Structure 1
Amino acid sequence: MPTWPRLGGLTRRIYLAFLVAAVLPTAVAGIIGVYFSVDALRGETLAGLKQEVSLRGEGIDSFLQQISAQLLALSSAPELDAFRDAIGSDNETSARASTEVALARLSGIYQYLYQIRYLSAEGQEQVRVDRIDGQVRVTPPDRLQDKSDRYYVRDALTTPPGRIYISPLDLNVEFGHTETPERPVIRLGTVVPGTATRAPGLLIVNLHADVLLGQIQQMADARRGTAFLFDRAGHYLARAAGEASQGMRMRPVADLAAQFDAALVERMLAAQRITTLAAGEWILAVAPVGAAGDASQWAVALAFPERSLFERVLNLYLLYAVLLLALAVTAIGGFVISRRLLGPMDALSQETEAIAAGDFSRRVTIPGNDEISALGARFNAMAARLQRLYDSLERQRDGLEREVKARTRDLEQERAFLATLIQHLGDGVLAVDRSGRLRLANAQAVKLLRVDAPRAAEHPAFADVWPPWTALAARATEALEAGRGWREDVVAPGQVLAMTVTAYAEGVLLVVRDVSVERQLADERRELDRHMFQMEKLISFGELSMGLAHEIGNPLAGMKAVAQALLYEEDLPTGVPEALSRLEAEIDRLAGFLKSFRGFAAAPVPVTRACALAEVVEDVCFWVRKEARSAGVRVEWLGLDTAPPVQADPQQLKQLLLNLFINALHAMPEGGTLRITADDVADGMLHFHVSDTGVGMPSEIVNQVFEPFFTTRETGTGLGLSIVRKITQVHGALVHIDSAPGHGTTFHLTWPLSETP
């Protein structure tokens, strides 16, 4: 029984080759035919549209030119001149009759002229002839109307004499109402200039718009498209082939947005010559009507849907019938050839799958004496060699298994020895692989790190069991990649661990040792050294303060005596007594400060009372006002007036704030804002703050600013903030600092409230 080929592999490629061989030439021929057919039809259609709109535009323009010539001739007719001379005289009636005859004669020549009028410069009709139902009729004088409110009268009067005004297409209005049935109308007008004896006037002709609408309807029917009539004011009227009238009124071109894009409509309106356009789904031709540049110029257009070109091409049924026949023949031929040629290939494929599954006894039989039968013979030889090779590999595998078992026993013994050694080490040993999982931990490591060994071994990440490992692993990896060793002390609750990390093939090896006692002894020794150094500084400072107090005290006493003497003088300038009083108070404060300075080595004893923080700050601001102004610093305080009084020695509190203010001024060399705020009262304490917008300090400097003699200024003594801390301590108050480089500094003070208001 014949073997049917499967539709895959080579069979599929042969099918595809046959299909491509037949489809590609046919498809190329069809595409080329369709392309050139559509191109030829597009060219023919564009040429036809161009000719059509050209003829229609020229016909409409010729008609309008004839009417314009007749209107200009009528404006200079002797009958009209005689009537203008006779207005208001006894001959007006006879002159009017002659003018009516001249207007009626022109109306009888052109059937589309249904109304001719002569109006005064004020818009009042003076002569009017109508054409109704084919009969020319003269309107009696009592039926003449005032047309001064009509747009076309106003626009026509602005037209220079000898030129023709053409109005947009609209509906005629009589006695304030639109005529019914609706009558589309175009008005042509010309100014009749006045003379010394003749008043100026206006001739206007009403033209049935059917002469234009009929032209565009004929264009639409002839080409089975859509014809348009545009005016330059941006309005249009459309007629489609075989469709009922779409209305008599001109519509704004914005209504075309659903059919054409705005750019295409703008190009159609701007056409000054015959233009053909192809945009998207439409082929169009546009032709102007009237003289170029005329504000009332018209344009006609004819649009033809491009899809109709393809509809004609798709009628080539023979081309597609041949294509389908070629495809059917190709598919049948490919199937027959694949059945005759690929049957043996399918048998080879099945036997190859059996050998791949491990059955090396399979063979294939292919009769014949061609390349495929030779391929079958080589396949059988290959299967025999694979059988022999497989048997040899089986024997080698058995030998390798015996050798591996022997080597495994030796490794197990060495591993047991190393495990015993590691478990009994005094230091903790851990191994963490590259994925972050704990692979080994001896008893000492479990004890030092205080982790659950079974849980740590089962958990996929050691960092989840011992969180410090996340940061340590990153630093250790960076150091090992740089080719250097890594060691770090880890501070844990109640202990300090010295950790050393070394790389191995699968990760890192950690050795952990408890150095808590060693670190404690070293810290205690450093603290003792620091206290001794501090005591030495305080002793030196005490000696220095005693000397300074003695040297400064005597001049201060003299200054105070002079200030007091000046206070008793008469006729002192305004403000001087107040300044002398403040100077005396400042001398007293400085004298008090010298006492505190003299007793810096020992805690000063404050004389406290209820102090209003606002009053203290006001005095200190007075002292630093001049220096702040010269430095460009603005001093502000908020919430001090409503703050309750604090319990403090006023002189020491002023000294504290003065030191903080001076430090703030020095921190703002480019100017800024010094702000004092009080914002909270809690647990009998007032919280107030002194902040600046200066350069700020890093954390390592913030930790040392209260130390005596520590300063960052070349001219500083390093005593100001030490005195601040002394004063807060003896008052039972607290002070701490918030500062960062570039973000200013804030001193936060917590001060006891006074028990008496």
Structure 2
Amino acid sequence: MTRKHDMRGTLRSFLGRIVRMPTMDEWRLMLALFAAAFTIILLIWYVSYSVEQRLQEQRSRLQAEGALRLADIWVSGFIADYAQFLNVIEDGYAFKGRLEGEVETAALVQDFSAWVRAKPDIAQLRYIAADGMEQVRVDRVGDAIVPVGQSDLQDKSARYYFQAANSLPAGSLYLSPLDLNVEGGMIEEPWQPVLRLAAPVFTADGVRRGVLVVNLDASSILVKLDLLASPFVRRIQLLNADGYWMGGVARRDRWGFMFDKETTLAVRAPELFTDMKAGVEHQGGAQRYVFAGLPLGETIAEDAGFERVETADTPWYLLVAYPRAPAFVSSENLPGFAVLFLASAVFAALASRLINHRRAAEARVRAAEERMVRIDRLAGLGGLVAGVSHELNTPIGNAMMVATTIDRRAESLQEALQEGRVGRNAFARALDDIRHGTRMTREALEGASEIIGNFKQIAVDQASDRRRRFSLERYLLDTISLLQPQFSKGNVRLVSGPMDDVRMHSCPGPLGQAVTNLINNARLHAFPDGAAGTVTVTAEGKDGGRVAITVADDGCGIAPEHRDRIFDPFFSTSFGKGGSGLGLVIVHNIVTGVLGGDITVDSAPGAGTRITLLIPLVSPLRGIDSNAYQTKEHGP
């Protein structure tokens, strides 16, 4: 029960931090994150959408062009096939014999009936004499093949297709307009699209004997065009030379020329019709178009072997419309915009909270690091106090001893004066002794005062990040002097090596703390089991306004597997022996942060360790308090 209660409390605490009203800083961060997320995702979406729509439009165009090519091939091939069929009939034995008067009409009727039965697209096959009177006619009525009797044959001399074909020379073909079949002056119902192919016929002597006419049921052409359409390609529109629709549109818009209606592309889209006739790509409008002209005369002449093909209303046109890609900002994408807006808002809210939590955690870490540095400084000051107390013992002890001696000498002189036993020479010797002792006392106290003064300056420096001008050599020597007592009880010596006397305008406190930590680190870790050795501190001026401070030892060195981890927090090989795992971490933070420098480590097992601090003579201003902006020189 208690565990469940704790889990609920934790959940409520977490939700309270997430759901609470944002602060002004959080609002600013949230708005910035929202703007960035929304803009980036919108840009990516726009680019991908544009590329996808462009590719989709190209695919639609290629599919439309492919459908048009297939339609062109099929329509032209269909008509050319029946044109060639006329040549075959004309060259047949029965028809030639009928022209020469050698074959009876009944034989030709039988031959025509066989051809109509073999070709399901033939609606009517006729032979019309030169005077315009039908001689032989075979009709298809439903599935039946019906030869027309002599009494029902008609005079076609006034029909346009007879007149046009009967005037053509041998080896020619007339292709009529594609229209609806008319019987008795009325358009046949249901509509029967008809295409007529008519060829003039001649005897072997070249005498014109009339016209051979085949009426094709053009419904198969329109049905085939509909079958060539696909989910990606809309219906293929078929238009004549005047822009009237014959297929691919609604029934009410077809065959306008048969009903005296101006339902043409030229009326409804004159610019498109003009571009189509000119063969140029049409620009503009909500639709994209692909079109092709059908030069049927040339195709039939080439494929069917006619020398001349007369056409009535060609070229025909095939037209396919496909939609233009919608704009990015359109109603189609409104749901996407809404989702993007909500997703960006949720992301901004959560990210801002997480970022603020991270900032708070980092602030706590920085505060902990600062406390750690302060604790380390206090520990360093504690070591300095021990060293100072040891150093003060000697001058103060000497002063006490001399003062005691003077006191005794003065007391003896006083007794001698009271007894009248003091001669001139004895009195002069006593005064000399007192004067010499006073001088010795003063020198001892001056030494103690100097030690205290140096300690005071170093203690003040290490207690703050104040920047000031100082002599690096003197500062390092004073630091080494104060640390000497910590080396007095072991076999390790602390010595100063060559030092260039450079003037710095930097932070002596952090610098002294870093050097002290390096020296103490060498004392604790470089000489295990009481081994003897030396820790040497040197300073060398470098080009570019920098100085290299080196703390080197001749101890055991650092193992290769530990070398990359020595600056990791709480990493130490001597826990329980004075190592906290924080000394080198503090050194690294001070050198690379406050002092604006770099730190390098050169070490090998058994060959000692050499740590070099490469820092500028003038430290950067970051991380320095207001007391650092002084130019007056204090102390060493």
Please confirm whether the aligned pair reaches a TM-score higher than 0.5, indicating the same fold. no
Shorter-normalised TM range: 0.3 to 0.5
Higher relative contact order (CA 8 A, sep 6+): 2
